Amino acid sequence: MNSINSKEIEKFSKIAEEWWDLNGKFKPLHKFNPIRISYIKENIIKTFKITSKKTPLKNIKILDIGCGGGLLSEPMCRLGAEVTAIDASKKNISVAKLHSKKNGLKIKYICASPEKLKTRKKFDVILNMEIIEHVEDVSFFLKSCSSFLKKNGIMFVATLNKTLKSYVFAIVGAEYVLRWLPIGTHEWEKFIKPHDLINILEKNNFKLDRIDGMTFNLLMDKWDISKDKSVNYIAKFIKN
């Protein structure tokens, strides 16, 4: 079996050079990043009862899946984590490697999908951020990811809910009206409802620890964690 959707890989490979352009095609992700970083950091600290403030993620082994150009891998590394990051796009990995080298960051980047990743290493944390809506088979993808996580480890999953509101906001609004994203970035049919995601991961020996919505505040021009999970949501799962 294969989790790679060639069409999706090609789509992102074409714009890979823009990953670190704050005003380029990934501008929405750069706006999104602060809330993702703080959510991940705070939940790791809470789960593993970390007390260090200088490098709070020191000795935490993270696997960033579908890392793109390294927008999450780099801040996780700066927070002290030992980061391995994978992506099925060679162009994405090339951009990520070059950028991390320029910034003197030690991140292990590998061009692979989870089912093709050859490592015996087990990780404390797996990041699946804005990736499952772009894969070929979500169940197979998440099952493949789960094999790399330690017992009692954390898997973060951030994605889009399959609702009418998400179609209006994430596709019509973000792609066609506001032009925040290139047209065709998302396919509504690939969005997944929270209860479906939970069911898939429960079958793979995970329990839901928490799930939150993420909403964009137009007045403040920033993202916030909220109770509204109708468009974007983020979930934290613990491996039994």
Query: Which tens digit of pLDDT belongs to each residue from 133-182?
Result: 999 999 999 999 999 999 999 999 999 999 999 999 888 877 777 677 77
The reported pTM is: 0.95
Token pair 């898997």 in the structure block, residue: 155
CATH topology of domain 6-239: Rossmann fold (3.40.50)
Neighbours of 209 (CB within 10 A): 15
Whether 161 and 186 have beta carbons less than 8 Å apart is answered as: no
Domain residue limits, the chain = 6-239
Model pLDDT, residue 178 = 67
Q: Using CA atoms, how far apart are residues 146 and 114, in angstroms rounded to an integer? A: 9
Residue 199: partners with Cβ closer than 8 Å, 6 or more residues away: none
**How do strand 206-217 and strand 108-111 relate by DSSP bridges?**
unpaired
